[in-house]
Amino acid sequence: MRGPHNIWRLIRTGATLERTGAMNLVLDAFEATPTLRFVARALGLPFKWLGYKGDPSMPPATRALTALGPAYIKFGQVLSTRPDVVGDELAVQLRVLQDKLPPFSIEEAKAEVERELGEPVSDLFSDFSESVAAASIAQVHKATLADTGEQVAVKVLRPNIERAFRKDVDAFYLAARMVEMFSPGSRRLRPMDVIEHFDGVVRGELDLRLESAAASEFAANTKDDEGFQLPAIKWNLSARRVMTLGWADGVSMGDNDAIDAAYHDRVALSNRVLQLFLNHALRDGFFHADMHQGNLKVAPNGDIIAYDFGIMGHIDAYTRRVYAEILYGFIRRDYMRVAKVHFEAGYVPADKDVDEFARALRAVGEPIFGMDATRISMARLLTYLFEVTERFGMETRTELILLQRTMVVVEGVARSLNPHINIWEVASPIVTNYISKSIGPRALLSDLAGTAQVLARFGPRLPGLVEAALLRQSNETTIVRPPRKRWIALSALGGAAAMAGLIVLVEALT
């Protein structure tokens, strides 16, 4: 579907913002320059009549994004957690996008359940409610299991959502290609790679079997996390377009009045949600990557409940250490360490000046320390960070997109609970603990043990590998040297024995 015809989609995007009255609100929220305002209005106004009308009962921004489709809604969901970036008015409007979108009919939902599970709804559930939450890709129904009486949540994909999403993302691909073509300086941000990454992530949301598997893995990783709960997956009642899991009782993380009425400590909750995310990202390398208020509840006992596992992030052990070192350096205000980590990881080209980069990072980090979070302009901070990355030729790291995006979202959730939170102070114990375990002699032994375990798995194949190597050597020379053969064989066997010993040593130490 990609091609020039998607220009029509982009034109209708601007026209829809104009027609719904969202254009000025969006430009004001992002403090657009006069030039950008002129260009936006010049492109939007002439085509205003082509824009989608949307639901007039909705606020302008919500009305525009819901009319434009699921990919735009996803973008709005992220912005809804950042009133410090987009302003309070726009953030309140966009928060509706999290789980209060117009639902599709219960008849369509039941028909989808029956098609996917192969049995009548009445045989599976003694009760099946109207939609209790409707988001961009799916909606949730509260139901009661016919055989046990347990209350569950049944998630059902929207009809034809795959085709609708494909249409949105195709337009994004065209927009990214145009940006690369007409703005060469933006190529370092790799807009096409970013859209491809976004495309792949949301494609995963369109197969609920993958979401069920992700939820199961996440539950196994976090089963011992204090103050954190996950609803259990009902595998026998889940399929590609339907997912069933235990019902989560609690108040929405986005409803501060309800949280206060239940006498929960919002300061403690704000600290915990940020620390939980950092623990999952650094300790496990597998984290909930859509942790906005619509996917979080506070249980009656004060635990945080997470659900909706369609977008999960994964980062390898090396990247986790790099990320932790960067955070740790900022926390310790050691900007030279942060700069060197960027260079060592290849995030900054080697021909740049590390001292100059460290000074630029200091200008980003120093204003944060000792300041109340309400006095920090995240919009200005992000603007300056963009200038720094452009100046030093840093490219967008697609493997870190979800991590960076989720950090922004989680920080927004934490600030909505406690506007005075200092993210660096809250993050410090988690990052420091991870650093102490992942860097140093103990970590080195653990790394060597992991390497040894991989190599030891080749033990049964070792004689064959040695023989094949010897045969190749024999074929390459007419002079056979038996002592050389015996040395190779003994070296290989000795290496295997040494690795086995190393495994035993490290297991004993750990």
DSSP three-state, residue 173:
helix
For residues 234 and 154, the answer to whether their CB atoms sit within 8 Å is: no
* Residue 77 domain-assigned (yes or no): yes
CB-CB neighbours of 339 under 10 Å:
25
Query: Does 400 share its domain with 315?
Result: yes
DSSP three-state, residue 248:
coil
For residues 365 and 336, the answer to whether their CB atoms sit within 8 Å is: no
**Tokens standing for residue 397:** 């790291």
- Structural domain harbouring 328: 250-439
* Residue 55 domain-assigned (yes or no): yes
Query: Does 268 share its domain with 407?
Result: yes
pLDDT in tens, 163-217: 888 878 888 787 777 767 765 655 655 677 767 777 777 777 889 999 999 999 9
Query: Does 455 share its domain with 333?
Result: no
Tell me which amino acid residue 288 is: H
Query: Does 416 share its domain with 482?
Result: no
What is the C-alpha to C-alpha distance for residues 181 and 175, in angstroms, rounded to an integer?
Answer: 10
* Residue 164 domain-assigned (yes or no): no
**Number of domains within the chain:** 3
**Tokens standing for residue 379:** 């919009």
From 69, 95, 121, give the residue that closes a domain.
95
* Residue 292 domain-assigned (yes or no): yes
Provide the annotated active-site residues: 290
* Residue 167 domain-assigned (yes or no): no
Burial class (CB in 10 A: 0-12, 13-18, 19+), 133: buried
Beta strand pairing call for 251-252 and 304-306: unpaired
What is the C-alpha to C-alpha distance for residues 330 and 165, in angstroms, rounded to an integer?
Answer: 39
Beta strand pairing call for 296-298 and 251-252: antiparallel
Residue 397 or residue 168, greater confidence: 168
Query: Does 324 share its domain with 409?
Result: yes
What is the C-alpha to C-alpha distance for residues 177 and 2, in angstroms, rounded to an integer?
Answer: 11
What is the C-alpha to C-alpha distance for residues 494 and 200, in angstroms, rounded to an integer?
Answer: 46
Query: Does 452 share its domain with 328?
Result: no
pLDDT in tens, 454-463: 666 666 776 7
Q: In the prediction, which pLDDT does 275 show?
A: 94
Query: Does 381 share its domain with 292?
Result: yes
Query: Can you tell me the mean pLDDT for 295-307?
Result: 94
For residues 442 and 293, the answer to whether their CB atoms sit within 8 Å is: no
pTM: 0.70
From 404, 424, 439, give the residue that closes a domain.
439
pLDDT in tens, 466-504: 777 777 777 665 544 544 444 444 343 343 333 333 333
CB-CB neighbours of 436 under 10 Å:
12
What is the C-alpha to C-alpha distance for residues 156 and 142, in angstroms, rounded to an integer?
Answer: 11
Query: Does 340 share its domain with 260?
Result: yes
Query: Does 418 share its domain with 493?
Result: no
Query: Does 458 share its domain with 431?
Result: no
pLDDT in tens, 7-44: 777 788 888 888 888 888 777 765 666 766 776 777 66
Query: Does 349 share its domain with 417?
Result: yes
